[in-house]
Chain A
Amino acid sequence: MTAPRTATGEASGQLRLRPPRHRVERRAIAHWSLRAALVSVGVVAVPAVATVAVSVMAAAPPVAVGGLWALTAVVAVPALAVTLVMPQWRYRVHRWETTNEAVYTLAGWFWQEWRVAPMSRIQTVDTQRGPLQRLFGLSTVTVTTASAAGPLRIDGLDSERAVAVAEHLTEVTQATEGDAT
Chain B
Amino acid sequence: MTGTEVHHTTDVHWHRLNPLTVWAKVIVIVAVELPTAVVILVLAALGDFLLWGALAALASVLLAGTLVTGTVLGYRYTHYGVSDERMEVRSGVLARSHRSLSRERIRTVDLATPLWTRPFGLCRVTVGTGQKTSPGDEITLSYVTTAEGDRLRRELLHQATVTSGGGTAEETDTTGTGTTALATMAPVWFGYGAAAPGPAAVSYSVILATAASLGEFVIRWMLDTYWGANVAGTGVVVTSALGVALGALLLGAVGALALHVEAWWNYRLTREPDGTLRVQRGLLNLSSVSIEERRLRGVEIRGHLPLRWFGAACVMAVASGLGSEGGGQDGKGSLVPRRSLSPEVPRARAERIAEKVLPGADIGPLTSHPRAALRRRLFRAAAAALGLTAVAFALALVTGADPVARSPVPAVPLWVAAVVLVVSAPVAGLYAWGCYRGLGHGLAGGHLAMRRGMAARSTAVLKREAVIGWTVRRSFFQRRAGLATIGATIAADEGVFHAADVDSGEGLAFADEAVPGLLAPFLERD
Contacts of A117 in B (CB 8 A): 468-469, 489
**At the interface, yes or no: B437 with Cβ under 8 Å from chain A?**
yes
* Minimum CB distance partner of A3 in chain B: B368
Could you say which of A3, A12, A101, A145 has the most chain B C-beta atoms within 10 Å of its C-beta?
A: A3
**At the interface, yes or no: A113 with Cβ under 8 Å from chain B?**
yes
**At the interface, yes or no: A116 with Cβ under 8 Å from chain B?**
yes
Contacts of B521 in A (CB 8 A): 99, 101-102
Contact call A18/B524, Cβ cutoff below 8 A: yes
CB within 8 Å of B: which A104-137 residues: 104, 110-118, 121
Contacts of A114 in B (CB 8 A): 470-473, 522
* Minimum CB distance partner of A143 in chain B: B469
Q: List 29 A-B contacts (CB under 8 A).
A: A1-B437, A3-B367, A13-B526, A14-B525, A14-B526, A15-B506, A15-B509, A15-B523, A16-B505, A16-B523, A16-B524, A17-B472, A17-B523, A101-B521, A102-B518, A102-B521, A111-B473, A115-B471, A115-B472, A116-B522, A117-B489, A118-B468, A121-B468, A147-B491, A148-B493, A148-B496, A149-B471, A149-B496, A181-B491
Contacts of A3 in B (CB 8 A): 365-368
Closest-CB distance, A67 to chain B (whole angstroms): 12
With A145-B489, A147-B468 known to touch, is A12 a contact of B525 (CB < 8 Å)? yes
Contact call B470/A10, Cβ cutoff below 8 A: no
Contact call B504/A145, Cβ cutoff below 8 A: no
- Give complex CA distance A21, B517 in Å: 18
Contact call A147/B523, Cβ cutoff below 8 A: no
- Give complex CA distance A18, B492 in Å: 29
Contacts of B512 in A (CB 8 A): 15
Contacts of B367 in A (CB 8 A): 3-6
With A3-B365, A16-B524, A16-B526 known to touch, is A148 a contact of B505 (CB < 8 Å)? no
* Minimum CB distance partner of B479 in chain A: A112
* Minimum CB distance partner of A101 in chain B: B521
With A112-B474, A115-B469, A117-B489 known to touch, is A6 a contact of B510 (CB < 8 Å)? yes
CB within 8 Å of B: which A61-100 residues: 97, 99
Contacts of A45 in B (CB 8 A): none
Quick one: which of A17, A99, A110 contacts B476, CB cutoff 8 A? A110
Contacts of A115 in B (CB 8 A): 469-472
Contact with A along B470-498 (1 / 0, CB 8 A): 11111110010000000101111111100
**At the interface, yes or no: B21 with Cβ under 8 Å from chain A?**
no
**At the interface, yes or no: A42 with Cβ under 8 Å from chain B?**
no
- Give complex CA distance A111, B485 in Å: 11
Contact call B469/A14, Cβ cutoff below 8 A: no
Contacts of A150 in B (CB 8 A): 495
**At the interface, yes or no: B513 with Cβ under 8 Å from chain A?**
yes
* Minimum CB distance partner of A181 in chain B: B491
**At the interface, yes or no: B117 with Cβ under 8 Å from chain A?**
no
- Give complex CA distance A113, B525 in Å: 19
With A112-B473, A121-B491, A146-B468 known to touch, is A17 a contact of B522 (CB < 8 Å)? yes
Contacts of A8 in B (CB 8 A): 506, 509-510, 513
Q: Main SS of chain B's interface residues?
A: mixed
**Chain B interface size, under 10 / 10 to 19 / 20 to 34 / 35 or more:** 35 or more
State how many residues of chain A have any CB contact under 8 Å with chain B: 39
Closest-CB distance, B523 to chain A (whole angstroms): 6
Quick one: which of A4, A15, A20, A113 contacts B505, CB cutoff 8 A? A15
Contact call A18/B506, Cβ cutoff below 8 A: no
- Give complex CA distance A117, B491 in Å: 12
Residues of A within 8 A of B (CB): 1-6, 8-10, 12-18, 20, 97, 99, 101-102, 104, 110-118, 121, 145-150, 181
Contacts of A121 in B (CB 8 A): 468-469, 491
- Give complex CA distance A111, B367 in Å: 25
Contact call B474/A146, Cβ cutoff below 8 A: no
Closest-CB distance, A118 to chain B (whole angstroms): 6
Contacts of B492 in A (CB 8 A): 148
* Minimum CB distance partner of A110 in chain B: B476
Contacts of A10 in B (CB 8 A): 505-506
**At the interface, yes or no: B503 with Cβ under 8 Å from chain A?**
yes
**At the interface, yes or no: B87 with Cβ under 8 Å from chain A?**
no
Q: Lowest 5 A-B CB distances belong to which pairs?
A: A9-B509, A148-B495, A14-B505, A146-B491, A13-B526
- Give complex CA distance A22, B31 in Å: 68
- Give complex CA distance A46, B494 in Å: 38
**At the interface, yes or no: B126 with Cβ under 8 Å from chain A?**
no
Quick one: which of B468, B475, B491, B523 contacts A111, CB cutoff 8 A? B475
Other contacts beyond A10-B506, A17-B524, A148-B492: 6, CB < 8 A: A3-B367, A15-B504, A104-B522, A111-B475, A116-B469, A116-B471
Could you say which of A8, A9, A10, A146 has the most chain B C-beta atoms within 10 Å of its C-beta?
A: A9
Contacts of B487 in A (CB 8 A): 149
Contacts of A5 in B (CB 8 A): 367, 503, 506
Closest-CB distance, A181 to chain B (whole angstroms): 6
- Give complex CA distance A124, B205 in Å: 43
Contacts of A12 in B (CB 8 A): 525
Quick one: which of A18, A113, A148 contacts B494, CB cutoff 8 A? A148
Could you say which of B493, B521, B526 has the most chain A C-beta atoms within 10 Å of its C-beta?
A: B521
- Give complex CA distance A18, B522 in Å: 6
With A8-B513, A12-B525, A148-B493 known to touch, is A113 a contact of B508 (CB < 8 Å)? no
Contacts of B523 in A (CB 8 A): 15-18
- Give complex CA distance A20, B472 in Å: 13
Contact with A along B243-257 (1 / 0, CB 8 A): 000000000000000
* Minimum CB distance partner of B487 in chain A: A149
Contacts of A9 in B (CB 8 A): 505-506, 508-509
Closest-CB distance, A8 to chain B (whole angstroms): 4
- Give complex CA distance A145, B382 in Å: 39
Closest-CB distance, A170 to chain B (whole angstroms): 18
* Minimum CB distance partner of B482 in chain A: A14
- Give complex CA distance A14, B507 in Å: 10
Contacts of B458 in A (CB 8 A): none
- Give complex CA distance A3, B479 in Å: 23
Contact with A along B453-470 (1 / 0, CB 8 A): 000000000000000111
